[in-house]
Amino acid sequence: MRNRKWLVAILLCVVGVHVLALCSGFLAPYDYAEQNRNLPYAPPSTLHFRDTQGVFHWRPCVSPLVERPGTFGVYDEDANNCLPVRFFVRGTEYTVLWLFQSNWHLVGVSQPAKIFLLGSDGYGRDQLSRLLYGSRLSLFAGLLATALTLGLGGLLGTIAGFYGGWIDAALMRCVELFLALPWLYLLFALRAFLPLHISATQAFLLLITAIGVIGWARPARLIRGVILSGKERSYVMAARMFGASDLYLMRRHMAPYTYGILLTQAAMLVPQYILAEVTLSFLGLGVAEPTPSWGNMLSILQQYDVLVSYWWMWAPGGALIVVCFGYWLLAGALQTRAESIAH
Amino acid sequence: MSQPQPPLLEVRGLSKVRTQGHWWQRQFEVRALDNVNLSLNAGRTLAVVGESGAGKTTLAMCLVGLEQPSAGDIRFEGKSLLQTDTRRRSSPARDIQLIFQDSAGALSPRMSAVEVVEEPLLIRGQGSRAERQEIALDAMEQVGLPAAWKNRNPHQLSGGERQRLAIARALVTRPRLLILDEALAGLDLSIQGQITNLLMDLQTAQGLSYLYISHNLELVSRIADDVVFLHEGRVIALDPSELTSDSRISETAGRSATGSLRLGARAGV
Amino acid sequence: MRYLGQRILQSLILLVGVSVLSFGFIELSPGNFFDEIRLNPRISNETVSKLRSQYGMDQPLPVRYARWLGSVAKGEFGFSFAYNVPVASLLWPRARNTLLLTGSAMLLAWMLALPLGILSAGRRNGLIDHATLLLTAVLLTIPDLLMALGLLLFALRTRLLPAGGMMSLDAENLSAWKQTRSVAIHLVGPALVLALASLPTLIRHTRAAMIEALDSPFVRAARAHGLSPYRILFRHAFPVALNPLISLFGLSLGSLLSASLLTEVLVNWPGLGPLMLEAILGRDVYVVIGVVLFASAFLMCGTLLGDVLLFAADPRIRTEKLT
C-alpha cells in the first residue's frame, strides 16, 4: 500500500465520520426524544419504488404501519397508502454546533407514514436519529478524553524526562502505581465517587475527565523516554550554551520527536475510550436517558426478548464496529509510516 | 612578549566532584577535575592535552556554563563567570563558544544549514528575520561555505563541512574565545589541515583566542602556543619535557616519527 | 529468593498506594450511602445521624483510613452498608469466581494464541499466517461488549450454551460431579468471549517473538544442520521466544481483568464485576474500595507470577541478579 496516499485516505474517512456526527441534526429525520407510542419496536421501513398502482418511480415511498391487533410489535403495512420520501424537508428544530438554530432535515416523509430507516425502539423513537445524535456524544467523548490523556501524559512525561532527578523518580513511581491497576476497575471506582444523577452535559464532561485522567501513565512513560534520549544530544547542549530557555529547548528540539508517538497513541486510545464511554453508559453509569449515547442505546439488549427479536436494535453495535475498524486501519497506517520514517 | 593586560581567561583551583550511586546506597566520589589552574592570553591558542577521561570535556563544559564546578573560579577578562545569574545569559556566555567533537550530533537534523547558523541569534532575539539571515550567510561565507548551501540539511554535508558550519554558528555571536573539543578528530588529514588554516585565518582576522582540547599532541603542536597536560583531572605538566616520566601521556600524545615535539612552530611565533 | 522478596515488598507498597488513592477519592464524593436513606421520609434525621456515627462516617478522613486499616488487619476490609456484613466475606467467594473465569480464559487464550502465533511465524505470508491475521483483525474490531451480547444471543437461540449465571438453578441439590459439570458448561461461553478478546494481542506478540527467535544465528545453524522445520519451530525457536512472552503474561492479565468486569455483568457470572457495579449504584463505599484492592492485588499477583516464571525460565536473569 502506498503509504502516504493510504494514510490520507483513511484519515479522511475517519474525519468524515466525525463530520457526519456533527451534522446529525441535519441528517436525522427526527428528534432523538420524539416518541411514537403507537409504534414500539417498528422494523426498518421498507422503501417501495413502485407506488400503490404498481408504477415505478425513482423516488421511493413509504407506507404507514399499523399494529396488528392483539399483538405487540408486529406490524402490517397499509397497502393503500404510500407516501413519497422527500428531501430537504422542514422538521423539528435543532441547534447547529451550538451556534444557530435550523430545521432543515435531509429526508422526511409526510404523516402518517414514518421513515424509520433503522427501526424504532420501545418508545417508538427513530433509531437512526438516535444513532446519529448518540454518535456526537460517543465519538467526541473518545476524542476529547484522548486529547486529555495525551496532553496530561505528555506534559508530565516531558517534565519528568527534562528535569530528571527526584521529579522523574517520583513520577515514575506514580506511573508504576497507575499501570499496576486494572484500568476499567479504576475508572469505575472513580465514577463511583462522583455524583450518580447528573445532567447529560455534566455526564459528558465528567466521563471525559475521568476516562482521560486514568490513562495518563503509559503515554507519560513513552514521552519521557523520547525526551530523555533527546536531552543528551549535542545540539541541545549547544542551544543551551547559546542561552536557550528550557521552554525553547522543549518546544524546538524535543517536541517534534514526540509527535509520531502521540499520533500512534491517539489512534490506539480513541477507540478504547469510545468503548469506555459506551461501557459506562451501557451499565447506567454514564449518560442517562433520554439523551442517546451508543452505550445506553445498546443497554436495552440486556433484555432477552429485545436481544433475540429486534435485530435493528444492534445498530449502534454495527456503528461501533465500523468506527473501531476505521481507527484500527488508521493506527496501522500511522505505524507503517513511522517505521518507514525511521529507516 | 609581556602582557600588560590581565589574561583573557584565568582558571584557578577549578574542581568538579561527581558522586555515583543512589541516595540510599554507599556513594563514591569521582574527581573529574582537581584543582586545575590555567591561563590564556588574548589572541593565543592554548592546548589542553590528556587521555580519555582526563577531564578535558568537563573543563570545557564548566567554561561554557553547561556544568557548574564544585570549587574554584573562572575569570574572563578579569570578571568571574561564576558570580553571574544562574542562567548565564549575560555577555560572558556569549563571548565563549564551544565546538563539539561530534559534528553530526551538534547540528539538529531538522534544521537547514542557515537555520542552524542563525539559531543563537534567534534564541537571543537579536535582529529581524532578514538581519539574522544576512549575518548567518555572512558567517557561512567566512568559513568557506557557499551561500547557495543555505537550505541544505547538515547531514548532507561531509564531516569537514559540518565542522565549518558549527564554527560559523559559533562566530555569529562574535565570541572572544572559542573552545574546540577534539573538533578535528575523525576528519581526514587534508581536511584537518584545511580547517586548521581556517581557524588560523580567523584568529588573525578577528583576534580570536582558542582553547584546543585534544589527546593528540602531534596535532596540537601545529597550532598551539602553550599547552597544559591533564591526567585524571589534575594538571601534571605545562611543558612536554616534563612528560618523560609518565608513559601514558607520551603514548597518547602521538609522538611524531622524529621523536621530538616542537611547540610554537606556527609561523610568526 | 531475595528478588522475590523485593518484588513482594514493592507490590505491597503499591497496594497501600492504591488504598490511599481510593480513600482520597472518597473526599471528592459529594453523595454517600446515607443520602439515599435520608430521602425516605419515614426515617428521621436523627436515625440517619446515628447510623452515620455508628459506621464512623462522621469522622475525618485520616481517622476513617486508620480504622479501615485496622479492619484490614483483622481480615474484614471494612463493612458493607448494603449487606451489613464485613466486606471480605462478600469478596472472597466473588474473587474465587473471577479467578476461575479469568484463569480459564487465560488458559484458553494462550492455548489458542501459541500455536497460531508459532505457525504464522514459521511460514510467514503462508495460508495460516494470512488466516490468523484476518482473525486478529476481526477480533480487534469487534468490541468485547458486542462479543458478550453475541454470546447471549447465540445461547438463547441455539440453547447449546446456558445464557448466563454460574450454575443451573437447581444445582445445589445435585451431586458434586454434576455441580462441577454445570459450572464448567456455564464457564465455556464467558471464558471463550474473554479469550477471544485477548487473542489479537497475544497472537501478535507471539508471532513477533517467534520471528525474532527464528532470525537468531543458532536457529539458522539448526536449519543448516537439516533439522525438520517443526522441530526447529517448537524445540529451538520457541524456548527463545518464551522470554518476552512470559513478560506478556503479566501484562495481558490486566486487560483481561478489565474485560472480565463487563463480561461478568452481562452473563451474570457472580464475580467481582457485578459486585462492583452493585456497590457503585448503591454507594457502598467500602465494598468499592475492597473490590479495587482485590482486583489490583490479583493483577499484581499475576505480574509477580510472570516475573517468577521469567526468573526460573531464563538463566541469564538468575546470574544477573546474583552478581
Question: Residues C129-157: pLDDT tens digits?
Answer: 889 989 999 999 999 999 999 999 988 88
Q: Which three cell numbers stand for residue B180?
A: 574546540
Q: What is the ipTM of this complex?
A: 0.86
How much is the average pLDDT of A201-215? 85
Please list, in sequence order, all residues whose beta carbon lies within 8 angstroms of the beta carbon of residue C45, skipping any fewer than 6 positions away. C38
**Dist. CA B66–CA B148, nearest whole Å:** 33
Query: For position A197, what pLDDT does the model report?
Result: 74
What ranges do the domains of chain B cover?
9-263
**pLDDT above 90 for A130:** yes
CB distance from C192 to chain A under 8 Å? no
Whether B102 and A234 lie within 8 Å, measured CB to CB: yes
Chain A residues with beta carbon closer than 8 angstroms to that of C25 = 189-190, 193
Query: For position B243, what pLDDT does the model report?
Result: 53
Query: For position A107, what pLDDT does the model report?
Result: 85
Rg of chain A's alpha carbons, rounded to an integer? Answer: 25
Query: Bridge-partner residues for B107, per DSSP?
Result: none
**pLDDT above 70 for C58:** no
Question: Beta-carbon neighbour count of residue A73 at 10 Å?
Answer: 17
What number of C-beta contacts closer than 8 Å exist between A and C? Answer: 121
Fold assignment, C89-322: MetI-like fold (1.10.3720)
Residue in this structure with the C-alpha cell 425516605, named with its chain if needed? C40
CB distance from A194 to chain C under 8 Å? yes
pLDDT of A150-159, one tens digit each? 999 999 999 9
CA–chain centroid gap for A183, Å, is 19
CA-to-CA dists, residue C250 to A195, B207, C5, C297, C307, angstroms: 34, 65, 18, 12, 8
Q: Is the pTM of this model over 0.95?
A: no
User: SS3 of A143, please?
Assistant: helix
CB distance from A70 to chain C under 8 Å? no
Residues of B with CB under 8 A from a CB of A: 64-66, 87-89, 93-94, 97-98, 100, 102, 105-108, 110, 119-120, 123-124, 169, 173
Pick the more confident residue, A119 or C63: A119
Chain A residues with beta carbon closer than 8 angstroms to that of C292 = 181, 185-186, 189
Pick the more confident residue, B218 or A278: A278
User: SS3 of A125, please?
Assistant: coil
Q: Which amino acid is at A10?
A: I
Chain B residues with beta carbon closer than 8 angstroms to that of A341 = none
Q: Which residue of A has its CA nearest to C295?
A: A182
CA–chain centroid gap for A74, Å, is 33
Percent of chain A with pLDDT over 90: 30
SS3 assignment for chain B: CCCCCCCCEEEEEEEEEEEECCCCCCCEEEEEEEEEEEEECCCCEEEEECCCCCCHHHHHHHHHCCCCCCEEEEEECCEECCCCCCCCCCHHHHHEEEECCCHHHHCCCCCCHHHHHHHHHHHHCCCCHHHHHHHHHHHHHHCCCCHHHHHCCHHHCCHHHHHHHHHHHHHCCCCCEEEEECCCCCCCHHHHHHHHHHHHHHHHHHCCEEEEEECCHHHHHHHCCEEEEEECCEEEECCHHHHCCCHHHHHHHCCCCCCCCCCCCCCCC
Work out whether the CA dihedral A285, A286, A287, A290 comes out positive or negative. negative
DSSP symbol at A253? I
- Angle (nearest 5°) at CA B151 between B145 and B157: 55
Contact residues, A window 137-176, toward B, CB-based 8 Å cutoff = none
**A252 Cα to chain C: minimum distance (Å):** 35
For an interface test with B, give the residue of A173, A229, A233, A234 to mutate (most B CBs within 10 A).
A234
Whether A185 and C303 lie within 8 Å, measured CB to CB: no
Query: For position C111, what pLDDT does the model report?
Result: 92
Per-residue burial over C116-125, b = 16 or more CB atoms within 10 Å of its CB, e = otherwise: bbbbbbbeee
Please list, in sequence order, all residues whose beta carbon lies within 8 angstroms of the beta carbon of residue B151, skipping any fewer than 6 positions away. B112, B113, B114
Query: For position B265, what pLDDT does the model report?
Result: 38
Q: Which three cell numbers stand for residue C50?
A: 446515628
Query: For position A14, what pLDDT does the model report?
Result: 93
User: SS3 of A66, please?
Assistant: strand
Q: What is the CATH number of domain B9-263?
A: 3.40.50.300
User: SS3 of A84, please?
Assistant: strand
pLDDT band at C323 (very low <50, low <70, confident <90, very high): very low
CB distance from A195 to chain C under 8 Å? yes
User: SS3 of A120, please?
Assistant: strand
How much is the average pLDDT of A275-297? 89
Q: Which three cell numbers stand for residue B158?
A: 561531509
CB A63 within 8 A of CB A76: no
pLDDT of C87-134, one tens digit each? 888 889 999 999 999 999 999 999 999 888 888 887 878 888 889 989
Q: Which residue of A has its CA nearest to B65?
A: A241
Low-confidence stretches of chain B (pLDDT beneath 50): 1, 88-90, 244-245, 247, 252-269
CB distance from C300 to chain A under 8 Å? yes
Whether C18 and A317 lie within 8 Å, measured CB to CB: no
Query: For position B262, what pLDDT does the model report?
Result: 42
- Closest CB to C25: pick one of A193, A308, A321: A193
Whether B66 and A237 lie within 8 Å, measured CB to CB: yes
Q: In what order do the strands lie in the sheet with B209-214?
A: B96-99, B177-181, B209-214, B45-49, B226-231, B234-237
Beta-strand pair B71-76/B9-20: antiparallel
**Dist. CA C101–CA C107, nearest whole Å:** 10
**pLDDT above 80 for C31:** no
The H or E element spanning position A57 is strand A56-62
CB B157 within 8 A of CB B94: no
Chain B residues with beta carbon closer than 8 angstroms to that of A237 = 66, 100
Give me the phi and psi of B175, to 5 degrees please. -80, 165
Query: For position A297, what pLDDT does the model report?
Result: 92
Please list, in sequence order, all residues whose beta carbon lies within 8 angstroms of the beta carbon of residue B205, skipping any fewer than 6 positions away. none
CA–chain centroid gap for C310, Å, is 20
C-alpha closest to that of C17 among C9, C27, C6:
C9
Do chains B and C meet with 3 or more Cβ pairs nearer than 8 Å?
no
**Dist. CA A56–CA A49, nearest whole Å:** 6
Please list, in sequence order, all residues whose beta carbon lies within 8 angstroms of the beta carbon of residue B40, skipping any fewer than 6 positions away. B7, B8, B9, B10, B46, B177, B209, B211, B226
Give me the phi and psi of B254, to 5 degrees please. 60, 60
Angle between helices A217-231 and A255-282 (to 10 degrees): 180
CA-to-CA dists, residue B182 to B32, B99, B214, C126, angstroms: 18, 8, 5, 54
Chain C residues with beta carbon closer than 8 angstroms to that of A283 = 262, 265, 277
**Dist. CA A38–CA B114, nearest whole Å:** 75
**C99 Cα to chain A: minimum distance (Å):** 14
CB distance from A341 to chain C under 8 Å? no
- Closest CB to A190: pick one of C14, C25, C258: C25
What ranges do the domains of chain C cover?
2-73, 89-322
Query: For position B47, what pLDDT does the model report?
Result: 87
Percent of chain C with pLDDT over 90: 17
**Dist. CA A260–CA A266, nearest whole Å:** 10
Chain A residues with beta carbon closer than 8 angstroms to that of C295 = 181-182, 185
**Dist. CA A27–CA A129, nearest whole Å:** 8
**Dist. CA A245–CA A240, nearest whole Å:** 7
Please give the torsion angle defined by the CA atoms of residues A58, A59, A60 and A65, in that order, rounded to the nearest 10 degrees: -150
pLDDT of C163-210, one tens digit each? 777 777 666 667 778 888 888 888 999 999 999 999 998 998 888 888
Q: Which three cell numbers stand for residue A157?
A: 512525561
Query: Bridge-partner residues for B19, per DSSP?
Result: B29
CB distance from A213 to chain C under 8 Å? no
